[in-house]
Amino acid sequence: MDNSSISPAQIGASGVLLIQYRLPKFGIESAPMTTDAGIDLVVYSPRLKDAVTVQVKTCLRPKPAGGTGRPLLDWKLRRNSPAQIVGIVNLEADQIWLFRHAEFEAKAQQMTETNCHFCLYVEPDYHPTGVTPHVRDMGQYKLENRISELFGPPHSN
């Protein structure tokens, strides 16, 4: 896939659309916001009979840590984001993880007064020893593993 000319806005829109594509497969509805107020999607869960707000952050592909290190994915979030849920996307691999806002902040490796920065290593054979985890360690946060917890258990028929 040649995505050398994809703009940052297109990268972000692709992440939002990927999440919107996957949620209905679990019976969850969503609608995009028309302006960027720190919320990208309003997600309605018929299971909870309630709406939840989601901020989506998208990384096109891994890049070298610090410019020359091992490849990693990274996402930055404003600490005062009004969204309840943070969805992070690895666009290259169509991967989605969902975090409550507080969980994202707790996992972030770098914090400033205004932002938090979360990273994941991606090399299959690499086993990090520091604070930055590997994508294989994030299974519990994958979209498909968070549906019941964040949006309610499926109704039994």
User: Is the confidence at residue 145, as pLDDT, over 60?
Assistant: yes
Q: What is the pTM (predicted TM-score) of this model? A: 0.92
Question: How many angstroms separate the CA atoms of 128 and 97, rounded?
Answer: 19
Query: pLDDT by residue (tens digit) across 12-52?
Result: 999 999 999 999 999 999 999 988 788 999 999 888 888 99
Predicted pLDDT at 36: 76
Question: How many angstroms separate the CA atoms of 157 and 154, rounded?
Answer: 9
Using pLDDT thresholds of 50, 70 and 90, give the confidence band for residue 5.
confident
Q: Please report the sign of the dihedral spanned by the C-alpha atoms of residue 112, residue 116, residue 117, residue 120.
A: positive
% of the chain beyond a pLDDT of 90:
80
Query: pLDDT by residue (tens digit) across 47-103?
Result: 888 899 999 999 999 999 988 999 999 999 999 999 999 999 999 999 999 999 999
Q: What is the mean pLDDT of residues 115-136?
A: 93
First to last CA, the chain: 42
Predicted pLDDT at 63: 94
- Taken as a whole, the chain contains a residue count of 157
Strand order, beta sheet including 110-111: 63-64, 71-78, 115-121, 110-111
**Of 123, 119, 142, which is closest to residue 131 (Cα–Cα)?**
119
User: Is the confidence at residue 106, as pLDDT, over 90?
Assistant: yes
Whole-angstrom Cα Rg for the chain: 16
User: Is the confidence at residue 156, as pLDDT, over 60?
Assistant: no
CATH topology of domain 8-150: Trna Endonuclease; Chain: A, domain 1 (3.40.1350)
Predicted pLDDT at 130: 85
